[in-house]
Amino acid sequence: MSEKKQKLTEISELGEFGLIDHITKDIKIKHSSTLKGVGDDAAVIDHGKTCSVVTTDLLVEGIHFNLIYMPLKHLGYKAVVVNLSDVYAMNATPKQITVSIAISGKFAVEHVEQIYEGIKLACDTYNVDLIGGDTSSSFTGLAISVTAIGEAKKEEIAYRNTAKPNDIVCVTGNLGSAYMGLQLLEREKEIFSSNPSAQPSLEGYDYILQRQLKPEARKDIIEFFATNKIKPTSMIDISDGLSSEVLHICNKSNVGCKIFQDKIPIDGETSQMAEEFKIEPLIAALNGGEDYELLFTIDMNDLDKVKDHELIHPIGHIADKKHGAVLITTAGQSIPLQAQGWNQMKSK
Amino acid sequence: MSEKKQKLTEISELGEFGLIDHITKDIKIKHSSTLKGVGDDAAVIDHGKTCSVVTTDLLVEGIHFNLIYMPLKHLGYKAVVVNLSDVYAMNATPKQITVSIAISGKFAVEHVEQIYEGIKLACDTYNVDLIGGDTSSSFTGLAISVTAIGEAKKEEIAYRNTAKPNDIVCVTGNLGSAYMGLQLLEREKEIFSSNPSAQPSLEGYDYILQRQLKPEARKDIIEFFATNKIKPTSMIDISDGLSSEVLHICNKSNVGCKIFQDKIPIDGETSQMAEEFKIEPLIAALNGGEDYELLFTIDMNDLDKVKDHELIHPIGHIADKKHGAVLITTAGQSIPLQAQGWNQMKSK
């Protein structure tokens, strides 16, 4: 790369979200069919009777996954699921995916087969067609790029920027478990590195390991919304931790919120592992990431429709912007939420 | 990666196309809206009034591009154009793209800006909206994944598998130039490596360098088809060399063909550089790759509509399958076409 002698700006100065904002701030949309471009879980294209939602993710070895503990079949499955989660977060139904893979020379046909076994299993589980992509060489690590395309009627689509004061904030499932699964895998990897004859002690932690290695996307919740005629006033999937996602909704919707610590759902196995690691379980839930649960807001009038669903947990409400986005602790303190999230680029 | 002690199959035994065939052979399509899955330039999704065509490419450093001579802005431009070319090859109009980039620590914000300058220039040139994607870290090289989405009416879409005997085979522009541009860049890189004070001698070769570093896609031809109500009976873009693409059309359409050597369009600068390298220009045209021209067939009755277009060259005709897919040389010999193409995986 030839280069003028100018001062260069390190990417860590902006962080991942800052860099994306910087790069995409001056994008102008040319086609009226582009209903939503950059800035939500997925883009939205209008086809008249229906809309497509489109989302894409590029996963690279060593950053997004570690082949030391990630079986290839699980990797293929997860690469698909994380994209489907973005489609569900638009209140849309995923229909098609494309997959591109770049593989280094250490891979054999059987390895690629394992990755595709996982991809096809995810396609079957979520009723999605694999419609294209390619496989090429890489000099370095493995990279997988998945694009998912979903379908929805225009009026059904849930965005990030449409939450309004007094809406109820809900999350699905539980939070922090995938992060604790990752901590466990990292610990056992370290032990194995220093003593290759050591056996990994992963027993009794099936749930948090599965949440990290083979996460699922919230097809069930979107189907529940459809059956019960619930339209979230805003929605996002939880990939970077609850704090980060709550702040996305608040910033895009120009509102504040109150989230109550004692309402945040945390699984027992997650708490137990957090204690072993001397991590506050709340921190894993707020900043852990990779939960692939849904965070959404509903009108107060719809609360009755969701409150008996075992997977849906009201955790707070939307407020005026002037109140900020805060966590109310069990002790009654009010703490501003901060997006620590999974900001890979700031951590380097 | 844990592994059973089984004999592993090297990917070179199958090659890129063989691997993709192997992996995708048992894919079952679940949705009636998926009109075309794997196996053409792009997949086709039916939305009722219109169809989407969807194509994706993952480009990785060291395999698909070399940053020693590829300026970052050009790289961004080319990454978009190669995908748009696939959309045009379906006789569709590209409307939206998503872009995902993984960058290693050696990159600064200004480098990412340069890549996006090229991406945005391509979007403006081809009237396409950038609607999504992300930027993440990479421990190794640079990777760029682009997905392009185009629009067409169902009856307008041109596939690979619909050529019929006696159709005229045409190509646009000229062939082999991007390959000779690459040879020139590789030569100068070698000279520079052994003597860093040497100045690259690239002057006078603007055309072939531009074809390699900043290729264009055939928007003009698709617009000409629309204006003149021409529907190709089959079409494909030329990314892996003429031979490989002719064989794709013949194999998928279950036909043979005769291609005439003296009809294959080769630019003067391409021939000149080929002579310098003691390469037969025909070989660059047949096997060179990265031309991003269109190869299409038309019904004989449409020949009059295209024969005066300066960029459209009839090069032969489709024949019965039993005659095979052959090149008729200037000397009148008949030689079976072979797909050498850009089979990266076999060359490793």
Percent of chain B at pLDDT > 70 equals 96
Helix-strand-coil percent breakdown of chain B, rounded to 5?
35, 25, 40
Flag whether A237 is in a domain: yes
Region of poorest pLDDT, from A170-179, A261-270, B253-262, B331-340: B331-340
Q: Which residues of B touch A8 (CB under 8 A)?
A: 108-111
Q: How many domains does chain B have?
A: 2
Q: Say which CATH number the domain at A339 has.
A: 3.90.650.10
The residue from B88, B123, B156 where one domain ends is B156
The answer to which of A212-216, B223-227, B267-271, B344-348 has the lowest mean pLDDT is B344-348
Among A156, A187, A205, the domain-final residue is: A156
Beta bridge partners of A143: A60, A102
Query: Which residues in chain A are closer than 8 Å to B27, comparing Cβ atoms?
Result: 120, 129-130
- With a cut of 80, say whether residue A35 has pLDDT above it: yes
Residue B194: is its pLDDT beyond 90?
no
Tokens of B176: 């082999």
* DSSP three-state, residue A59: strand
Question: Average of pLDDT values for A248-269?
Answer: 97
Tell whether B194 and B62 lie within a shared domain.
no
- Distance, in Å, from the CA atom of B242 to the CA atom of B226, rounded to the nearest integer, reads 24
Contacts of B10 in chain A (CB under 8 A): 108-109
pLDDT on residue A4: 52
Answer yes or no: are the C-beta atoms of B69 and A134 closer than 8 Å. Answer: no
Distances (CA, A) of B231 to A166, B42, B224, B225: 56, 17, 10, 7
The model's pLDDT over B315-330, given as tens digits with 9 standing for 90+, comes to 999 999 999 999 999 9
CA distance B77 to A100: 20
**d(Cα A49, Cα A125) in Å, to the nearest integer?**
27
Residues from chain A that touch B128, judged by Cβ atoms under 8 A, are 30
Residue among B1, B54, B136 whose CB faces A344 most closely: B136
Task: Flag whether A304 is in a domain.
Answer: yes
At A348 the pLDDT is: 31
pLDDT of residue B4: 52
Of A13, A45, A151, the CB nearest to B96: A45
Least-confidence region, from A40-44, A259-263, B139-143: B139-143
Domain match, B118 and B226 both? no
Question: Which of A29, A140, A145 is the closest to B145 by Cβ?
Answer: A145
Q: Residue B166: count other Cβ atoms within 10 Å of its Cβ.
A: 13
When comparing pLDDT for B193 and B37, which is higher? B37
Question: CA of A139 to nearest chain B CA: how many angstroms apart?
Answer: 7
- Best mutation site among B112, B129, B144 for testing chain A: the one with the most A CBs within 10 Å? B129
- Single-letter residue type at A244: S
pLDDT band at B340 (very low <50, low <70, confident <90, very high): low
Quick one: B114 and B178 in the same domain? no
A2 belongs to a structural domain:
no
- Residue B139: which of A27, A62, A135 has the nearest Cβ? A62
| Same domain flag for A15 and A134 | yes
Averaged pLDDT for residues B156-179: 98
Structure confidence at residue A5 (pLDDT): 61
pLDDT for res B12:
86
Q: Using pLDDT thresholds of 50, 70 and 90, give the confidence band for residue B5.
A: low
Flag the least confident range among A220-234, A319-333, B197-211.
B197-211
Asked if the model's pLDDT at residue A172 lies above 90, the reply is yes
Interchain CB distance below 8 Å, A103 and B33: no
Q: Where are the beta strands (DSSP E) in A90-186?
A: 93-103, 129-132, 135-137, 143-152, 168-172
In chain A, residues with a C-beta closer than 8 Å to the C-beta of B100 are 56-58, 145
- Tell me the count of A-B CB pairs closer than 8 A: 283
Could you read off the pLDDT of A339-348 as tens digits, one per residue? 764 444 443 3
Residue A78 sits in the same domain as residue A105: yes
Dihedral class, residue B223 (left if φ above 0, else alpha if ψ from -120 to 50, else beta): alpha
In a shared domain, residues A263 and A119: no
Phi, psi of B322 (to 5 degrees): -60, -20
Residue in the block written with tokens 């980060």: A244
Q: Which of A194-203, A223-232, A323-332, B254-263 has the lowest mean pLDDT?
A: A194-203
Reply yes or no on whether the pLDDT at B2 is more than 70: no
Instruction: State the pLDDT at residue A1.
Output: 46
Residues B145 and B172 in one domain: no
CATH number at residue A75: 3.30.1330.10
Q: What is the pLDDT of residue A316?
A: 98
**Facing residue for B29 by CB, picked from A56, A129, A134:** A129
Interface mutation vs chain B, best among A136, A146, A151, A239, most B CBs within 10 Å:
A136
Q: Indicate the residue among B125, B156, B187 that finishes a domain.
A: B156
Q: Using pLDDT thresholds of 50, 70 and 90, give the confidence band for residue B345.
A: very low
Q: Do B9 and A50 touch (CB under 8 A)?
A: no
Q: In terms of domains, do A130 and A239 share one? A: no
pTM of the model: 0.93
Confidence of residue B21 (pLDDT cuts 50, 70, 90): confident
Tell me if B273 is assigned to some domain: yes
The letter for the amino acid at A71 is P
Among B22, B31, B112, select the one facing A23 at the smallest CB separation. Answer: B112
On average, the pLDDT of chain B sits at 92
Q: A239 and A119 in one domain?
A: no
Average pLDDT in chain A? 92
**pLDDT recorded at residue A198:** 80
Are the CB atoms for B150 and B52 separated by under 8 Å?
A: yes
Higher pLDDT, A263 or B39: A263
Calculate how close chain B gets to A323, using CA atoms only, in Å.
Answer: 31
Residue B347 predicted with pLDDT over 70: no
CA gap A114, A101 in Å, rounded? 13
Q: What chain A residue is nearest to B41 in terms of C-alpha separation?
A: A132
CB atoms near residue A283 (< 10 Å): 15
In a domain, B23, yes or no: no
Instruction: For residues A138 and B125, give the distance between their C-alpha atoms in angstroms, rounded to a whole number.
Output: 30
> Distance from CA of residue A19 to its chain's centroid?
19
- Average pLDDT estimate for B241-251: 97
* Mutate: best of B103, B120, B145, partner A, most A CBs <10 A: B145
Between B54 and B69, whose confidence is greater?
A: B54
A198-A200-A203-A209 Cα dihedral, nearest 10 degrees: 170
Q: How confident is the model at residue A133 (pLDDT cuts 50, 70, 90)?
A: confident
Whether residues B197 and B152 share a domain: the answer is: no
Whole-number Cα distances in Å, B75 to A43, A115, B113: 24, 29, 12
Least confident segment among A3-12, B99-108, B282-291: A3-12
Higher pLDDT, B94 or B16: B94
Find the domain containing A305 and state its range.
168-347
Q: Which residue of A has its CA nearest to B48?
A: A49
Cα nearest neighbour of B19 on chain A: A109
Does one domain contain both B115 and B178?
A: no
